[in-house]
Amino acid sequence: MFRLAHLSDPHLGPLPDVRYRQLASKRAIGYVNWRRNRAVKLGSDSLDILLADLEMTAPDHLAVTGDLVNLALPEEIKLAAAWLDTLGSPTGVTVVPGNHDAYVPGAVGRAGRHWAAFMQGDPDRAVSDEPDPGGVLGARFPFVRRRGPIAIVGTSSARASAPFMATGHFGTTQSLILTEILEALRHEGLFRVVLIHHPPVRGSTPWHKRLIGGSRFRAAIREAGAELVLHGHNHRAGVLHIKGRDGRVPVVGVPSASATPDERHEGARYNLFEIDGGPGAWHCRMIERGLTPEAPETVEEISSRLLMRPRSRATRTQLS
């Protein structure tokens, strides 16, 4: 059995010192939002409690789907690189960027350089000769990491957007490469997990936070298939589905990894996926662990559900 953990949107804080000239952009809006809202709703205490529990569960691999920072200040990006080192080695942790990591033009390239070791494919298995199709210098998207029976496919929806917007973008080149990769991995018989920051399901997020080019992402999944899609961005838990080559593909979101729980907002959470079986007979159980308003300082199992089970009685018996 392979155990994959997923967390997202830590929005690491507190903010470093901000110079006035750094606020002469969209950052001014984000700074006000941080002081009024995010500094209260998102906290390092919740993140530390969550990560301590994650360490005890000892997953085989950890996926982080973006928004490590808030305003994409240069010092924030450097601090996030140091934080990633505390999670584990680059071979054991995979990262894709989010819209806050690309908050202003040029920021996502800086993040790509500092976090590149966590956003690179297997060094001996190049998947594309395209120069930075995902738009992140120091990293190339989509990329592939093979870990045991699974293949982790990292994509990028991170692009600087206009003030009051938090949109993502998925372009034609990335879609074509993703289709090619997923098809090749299908022939290898691997359990394909696709990472993206923005939810790719139509209507699953407000218009100003949507994924532009989401239809291109869905077309790649529909043509080549995948077993699982993981995302962040919404700061909410949820399991939706999109069409795949061989049936519906679960699309799973997770709340912010640093969220303080209250009656209106879900607390910090991560998901653990237990993956077993083989092609045509995959078995995947999702376990949600996190903080609740009733126990804001203790991580609890919130739910457990089967996302995928073997199709025949014979294979179910074999895996049990």
- The reported pLDDT for the residue numbered 317 is 39
* Gyration radius (Cα) of the chain, Å: 19
Closest CA to 242 of 234, 253, 256: 253
Q: Which residues pair with 274 in a beta bridge?
A: 3, 285
- Does residue 19 register a pLDDT over 90? no
Amino acid identity of 44? S
Tokens of 39: 């500094």
- Does residue 132 register a pLDDT over 90? no
- The reported pLDDT for the residue numbered 27 is 75
User: Which DSSP category does 206 fall into?
Assistant: -
In angstroms, the CA 190 to CA 160 distance is 33
Segment 85-121, tens digit of pLDDT: 999 999 999 999 999 999 999 999 999 999 999 999 9
Alpha helices in the chain (DSSP H): 27-33, 39-41, 44-57, 74-87, 107-114, 172-188, 214-224, 313-319
φ, ψ of residue 68 to 5 degrees: the values are -70, -30
Which superfamily does CATH assign the domain made up of 2-319 to?
Metallo-dependent phosphatases (3.60.21.10)
Greater model confidence, 140 or 170: 170
Contact 174, 134 (CB under 8 A): yes
- Does residue 284 register a pLDDT over 50? yes
φ, ψ of residue 319 to 5 degrees: the values are -85, -15
| Cα dihedral 193, 55, 253, 214 in deg (nearest 10) | -50
Greater model confidence, 9 or 134: 9
Closest CA to 205 of 49, 59, 60, 98: 98
Contact 153, 207 (CB under 8 A): no
How confident is residue 203, by pLDDT bands cut at 50, 70 and 90? very high
Residue with tokens 């179910």: 316
The full set of domain ranges for the chain reads 2-319
Contact 70, 100 (CB under 8 A): yes
User: Which DSSP category does 116 fall into?
Assistant: G
In angstroms, the CA 94 to CA 84 distance is 10
How confident is residue 124, by pLDDT bands cut at 50, 70 and 90? low
- The reported pLDDT for the residue numbered 205 is 95
In angstroms, the CA 54 to CA 56 distance is 5
Q: Say which range, 22-31, 63-72, 206-215, has the weakest mean pLDDT.
A: 22-31
Greater model confidence, 313 or 277: 277
How confident is residue 39, by pLDDT bands cut at 50, 70 and 90? low
Segment 52-93, tens digit of pLDDT: 999 999 999 999 999 999 999 999 999 999 999 999 999 999
Average pLDDT for 266-286: 96
Average pLDDT for 134-140: 52
In angstroms, the CA 198 to CA 178 distance is 16
Segment 296-311, tens digit of pLDDT: 899 999 999 999 887 6
- The reported pLDDT for the residue numbered 42 is 79
Tokens of 197: 């920051």
Closest CA to 35 of 27, 25, 46: 27
Contact 289, 275 (CB under 8 A): no
- The reported pLDDT for the residue numbered 262 is 87
Residues 6+ apart with CB under 8 A from 60: 2, 3, 4, 92, 147, 148
% of residues, the chain, pLDDT over 70: 86
φ, ψ of residue 195 to 5 degrees: the values are -105, 135
Overall pTM > 0.85: yes
Instruction: Name the helix (H) or strand (E) containing 289.
Output: strand 283-292
Amino acid identity of 239? V
Mean pLDDT of the chain: 89
